[in-house]
Amino acid sequence: MKNLTLLLLSIGLGCTAQQKTTGKLVALDDAFYDYISKDAKIEVLAKDFIWSEGPVWVKEGEFLLFSDAPQNTIFKWDEKEGLTQFLEPSGYTGILPYSKEPGSNGLIINNNGELVACEHGDRRISRMPLSFGGKVTVADKWKGKRFNSPNDIVQTSKSIYYFTDPPYGLPEQENSKTREIDAFGVFKVDNEGKVDMVVGNLSRPNGLALSPDEKILYVNQSDGNAPYIMAYNIQDDGSLDEGTIFFDATELRKEGLVGSLDGLKVAKDGTIFSTGPGGVLIITSEGKLLGRIETGQRTANCAWGDDGSTLYMTAHEFLMRIKTKTTGTGF
């Protein structure tokens, strides 16, 4: 396969605080340029985070929210004011130190316009109005047992939530004595608030996304020994089938590329933009890797914003964005 590399900047991240662009585009197929222009720039919007995560675009206010779990904070970024603090604490309201990543992780705006957060430290899914009217718990237990540390979440047009529950926010992760659920599951919350485990055999479920027709749930597995994007068919009752491996990132890891399969989003034509080894991978709905947006950093997550064609990326200590030639679902 032909490897076409476009270098966007000749100096690396961290060289200067005034740096505005970084990274490179790596095309493995000419179809890559159907989604990203050859002259597209990876812009650095903000920096000095510990681990930026969970971006979501707020359409009505035209701004981006994203988490920094180690700082227990949700930040806000917009074109006019730049970076400001939006909410602190974001995911842990305790007094004593808890873990390395106690704050919120994945964020979405639900069908009612509320901010929904996966909270590591408080081990729950919460929702709150953007006007700070107070948080409400969506779910914090399954069969009477507390979740590990909810990580990422989606909501269907029928208002059903799906979220992942790996151990990353626990004090000692999988070895934490406070664990109550043996599996690291994928859970469903229906309109009545009933919680079901719909996947229980993944070692590190992480980011997840819906296909445009909401018939498939994609789940990233961030286990280095099993770096897969799983695809599950959604049944009429909201349950999932056994799933199949949609994409295997093993070969990318063997190349020594930085990062793991983490967050992902889907374009309107079904193309997947998934963080992974090397940055953000662009994968067709048939599972063919077209190339990657190479940020130069471990890249945690991404989100569509502006008019739906801008991809915002949370990459370690940075917030970045790039203009695409496609449009994300939800726009």
pLDDT digits (tens, 9 = 90+) for 273-307: 999 999 999 999 999 999 999 999 999 999 999 99
Hey, where are the domains in the chain? 46-259
Burial readout 181-203 (b: 16 or more C-beta within 10 A, e: otherwise): beebbbbbbeeeeebbebbeebe
SS3 category, 71: helix
Residues 6 or more apart whose CB falls under 8 angstroms from that of 290 comprise 27, 28, 29, 31, 32, 35, 282, 283, 284
Q: What is the pLDDT of residue 66?
A: 98
Q: What is the pLDDT of residue 10?
A: 29
Q: What is the pLDDT of residue 106?
A: 98
Q: Which CATH class is domain 46-259?
A: mainly beta
> Residue 271's closest CA among 235, 331, 218?
218
Residues 6 or more apart whose CB falls under 8 angstroms from that of 231 comprise 216, 217, 218, 243, 244, 245, 246
Whole-number Å distance between alpha carbons of 81 and 88: 19
Q: What is the pLDDT of residue 223?
A: 95
Q: What is the pLDDT of residue 133?
A: 75
Residues in the chain where the model's pLDDT stays below 70: 1-19
Residues 6 or more apart whose CB falls under 8 angstroms from that of 245 comprise 228, 229, 230, 231
Find out whether 148 and 166 touch, Cβ atoms under 8 Å. yes
Taking only the tens place, the pLDDT of each residue in 31-57 is 999 999 999 999 999 999 999 999 999
Q: What is the pLDDT of residue 132?
A: 77
Q: What is the pLDDT of residue 11?
A: 28
Q: What is the pLDDT of residue 237?
A: 96
Half-sphere exposure at residue 42, Cβ-oriented, CA atoms within 13 angstroms? 28
């947006």: which residue's tokens? 293
Whole-number Å distance between alpha carbons of 116 and 106: 8
Strand-pair partners of 87: 74
Whole-number Å distance between alpha carbons of 280 and 301: 8
Strand-pair partners of 196: 188
Q: What is the pLDDT of residue 61?
A: 94
Q: What is the pLDDT of residue 177?
A: 94
> Residue 139's closest CA among 165, 170, 157, 158?
165
71: left (phi over 0), alpha (psi -120 to 50) or beta: alpha
pTM for this prediction: 0.93
Q: What is the pLDDT of residue 15?
A: 35
Q: What is the pLDDT of residue 7?
A: 29
Find out whether 63 and 107 touch, Cβ atoms under 8 Å. no
